[in-house]
Amino acid sequence: MIPLHGIASREDLPLPFPLIVAAAAAVLIVTFWILLFAWREPRFRERQGREMPILTRFVDSPWFSRPLRLVVGVLWLLAAVALAFGPDRVDNPIFGFVFVWPWVGLVPLALLFGEVYRRTNPIRLLLRMTGATAPAPVPAATANTRSRLPAAAALLAFAWYELVEPSAATLPVLRGAAAAWLAWVIVGVFATSAKWIARADPFEAFASTLAKFSPWSRSASGRLLLINPLRNLASWRPPRHLWLLACVLLGSTLFDAIAGSAWWVRAFQDSSIPPRIVGTVGLIATVAVIAGLYLLSVLPLRRHGRTLTQVADELAPGLVPLVAGYFLAHYATMLYLEGQRTAIRMSDPLALGWDWFGIAEAGPNLALLGLPTLIAFAQVFFIVAGHVSAALVSHDIALRNVEPDAAMRRQMPLLVLMVLLTIVGMVLMFG
């Protein structure tokens, strides 16, 4: 029996093989060019860019932030209503709201506009009286670098729920999951402090991590900074256990591709082992293999006075572009199609025949899905661009604290791992 999926109704066509070969060749050449011929002195250590004082005043003013929070708050309220009182069918907007809008949609949102999620986080809105709202920007120097282990665990749980749990797209199960998420974050806030949200809310931790690869940052004085995304990422003082969080994200996306591949389906569809166990073992094994390979690959970059996991954290920003590239390549078309469908369903949250936004009649726009060549090129572009950015950021970080010639040798395993992940990722999209 083939497990029936809830929300994704369409799969992308396999990537054309010549395109994969060309992209893989480009990845190899560019990676080794970076290793051999790119800059020998770290150049992205400082957080600098163009300060935008007027934009800062606008973005930080209540005239902008209040309406923004109001709109986002109303959307979450609508979702909550659909979750509590809507019909238990796949056309309930809550499924698209959870699995498409925040999960997939926050990637382009964070990459284009930076820390939007943190400033509109519904849990922060709920907990306003405890001072949990994030009205003021955080200058880089005072950023919260405490362990992101709770968020990594929560993200793994979310990935398990989305990719493994067979009844994820049924209302009672989703209600339980939503309650668990709220309890995890809110109880944590009351037990510790409002800083728990940044460390433990899976969505915020995910969005904030990707926002570091956006062209937006804050200067020491708190002003908005238009910045080269590579510099933004490479100059980040990463929080502890960022490497684990990145490996969870990479591993779960990779597992999604593996579980959809023909050989996995053939191997397990008739097996007597329950699908929950197969999926759980598969997901955890994929994440563990990636985490293990990553630790091995940064082993040569270890230096006196630093533990292996500290070095793994220092280099973890280099994994973020890989995550971004994978996510966009795998889920951009799903965001396009199911994102529109979710908007349509959102205008009738209780399935009573309403059409608040007046968009139900027209149906989703499918123009982009009629251009398979464009989709294939865009997917490969996302993966290759993510890989090249990852290699450049890692190169810059690896040059610090190490002699240039030694750095070249020592960062080789990490770059080889990245090439491997990128090519495996593309081959999985081939078949």
**Segment near other proteins (CB under 8 A); pick from 10-18, 201-209, 302-310, 317-325:** 10-18
As given in the structure block, the two tokens for residue 330 are 């795998």
**In whole angstroms, how close is the CB of 230 to other proteins at the nearest point?**
9
Among 272, 305, 370, 405, which residue interacts with other proteins (rule: CB under 8 A)?
370
**In whole angstroms, how close is the CB of 375 to other proteins at the nearest point?**
7
Binding mask 28-67 for other proteins (x = CB under 8 A): ----------------------x-----------------
Under 8 Å between Cβ of 308 and 299: yes
Among 366, 400, 424, 430, which residue interacts with other proteins (rule: CB under 8 A)?
366
DSSP label at 428? H
| Main-chain phi, psi angles of 430, to 5 degrees | -85, -35
| Main-chain phi, psi angles of 224, to 5 degrees | -65, 140
The answer to whether 165 contacts other proteins (rule: CB under 8 A) is no
Among 121, 235, 252, 333, which residue interacts with other proteins (rule: CB under 8 A)?
333
Nearest to 141 by CA among 222, 215, 231, 212: 222
Q: Which helix (H) or strand (E) holds 304?
A: none
**In whole angstroms, how close is the CB of 371 to other proteins at the nearest point?**
6
**Segment near other proteins (CB under 8 A); pick from 143-151, 296-304, 348-356, 376-384:** 376-384
Of residues 186 and 380, the one with the C-beta less far from other proteins: 380
The answer to whether 112 contacts other proteins (rule: CB under 8 A) is no
Among 63, 129, 270, 304, which residue interacts with other proteins (rule: CB under 8 A)?
270
Burial class of residue 67 in the structure, from the number of CB atoms within 10 Å of its CB (0-12 exposed, 13-18 middle, 19+ buried)? exposed
Of residues 182 and 371, the one with the C-beta less far from other proteins: 371
**In whole angstroms, how close is the CB of 352 to other proteins at the nearest point?**
19
The answer to whether 285 contacts other proteins (rule: CB under 8 A) is no
Nearest to 422 by CA among 257, 176, 231: 257
Lay out the sheet containing 216-218: strands in order across: 50-51, 224-226, 216-218
Helix (H, G, I), strand (E, B) or coil at 40: coil
Under 8 Å between Cβ of 316 and 246: yes
**Segment near other proteins (CB under 8 A); pick from 4-12, 193-201, 205-213, 304-312:** 4-12
Residue ranges in 86-164 assigned as alpha helix (H): 93-99, 101-113, 116-120, 122-126, 149-163
CA angle 70, 75, 77 (to 5 degrees): 90
List CB contacts of 65: < 8 A, sequence separation 6 or more. 59, 119, 135
The answer to whether 22 contacts other proteins (rule: CB under 8 A) is no
Under 8 Å between Cβ of 223 and 262: no
Distance CA 319, CA 312 (A): 10
The answer to whether 375 contacts other proteins (rule: CB under 8 A) is yes
The answer to whether 16 contacts other proteins (rule: CB under 8 A) is no
Which parts of 195-254 interact with other proteins (CB under 8 A)? 215, 226, 228
Of residues 18 and 305, the one with the C-beta less far from other proteins: 18
Of residues 353 and 370, the one with the C-beta less far from other proteins: 370
The answer to whether 372 contacts other proteins (rule: CB under 8 A) is yes
Residues that bind other proteins (CB under 8 A): 1-2, 4, 9-13, 50, 215, 226, 228, 266, 269-270, 333, 337, 366, 369-375, 377-378, 381
